[in-house]
Amino acid sequence: MKSDRQRAVQMLKTARGQIDGLIKMVEEDRYCIDISHQILAVQAILRKVNKDILHGHLNHCVKEAFSSDQAQTKIDEVMEIMDKLMKG
């Protein structure tokens, strides 16, 4: 699990660096299409990190909840996230 967390942190730091670059691009009035491409790249990283986080949650937290009385709570949490993802 520690390597998963380190990977997530590294990807988020990469996204943060790209966002800093995007801010600079906007401040420098760079070409709109170039900015848009960079926004799409950041969104792709964030989607990937979110997917990895959710996979970890399902494989650990939700799996463990089935051996206790917390299963329905964890299912409801995942369904709430799924609803939000479907809107996006």
Which has the closest alpha carbon to 81: 60, 64, 63, 58?
58
Amino acid 63: pLDDT: 86
- pLDDT score at 1: 57
CATH code matching the domain that covers 2-87, chosen among 3.40.50.1360, 1.20.58.1000, 2.60.130.10, 3.30.380.10: 1.20.58.1000
Q: Three-state SS string across the chain, please? A: CHHHHHHHHHHHHHHHHHHHHHHHHHHCCCCHHHHHHHHHHHHHHHHHHHHHHHHHHHHHHHHHHCCCCCHHHHHHHHHHHHHHHHHC
Instruction: Report whether pLDDT(33) > 60.
Output: yes
Residue whose token pair is 């409801």: 76
Q: What is the pLDDT of residues 57-67, one digit of tens each?
A: 999 888 888 88
Domain segments of the chain as ranges: 2-87
Q: What is the pTM of this model?
A: 0.84
